[in-house]
Amino acid sequence: MSANEQQPLEQSLATSLGTLEATDTGGEWATVLWDDPVTLRPYVVRVLMRRFRYSAARAEELTAIAEREGRAAVARGGREEQEMHVAGLHADGLVATLERLDP
């Protein structure tokens, strides 16, 4: 359960996405996970547990919300951090978007 395997992507993204920082107007952003009827549910749960260090129960709950509502906010915080999460979820094959929380 170490986060080491995610490091190569996170290191390169920190360099690539860091260029956004200059125009980052701050504020809070959410990482939104979208329902994906194709991907196996236990895989989605596992990805959420590993990336966000959620308990199995929390990851299951968020996955269920995405299935039921079509989407679920799975993380919130600074823009750059949420962009890393979205990129990581994309790399894992999930559909995720960023949304500003305080427009």
In the complex, least distance from residue 21 CB atom to other proteins, rounded to whole angstroms: 11
* Comparison of 62 and 85: residue with beta carbon closer to other proteins: 85
Residue 55 touching other proteins (CB under 8 A): no
Which of 44-82 are b and which e, b meaning 16 or more Cβ less than 10 Å from the residue's Cβ?
Answer: bbebbbbbbebeeeebbebbebbeeeebbebbeeebeeb
**Chain positions contacting other proteins, by CB under 8 A:** 5, 8-9, 12-13, 16-17, 19-20, 38-40, 42-43, 46, 83, 86-87, 90-93, 95-99
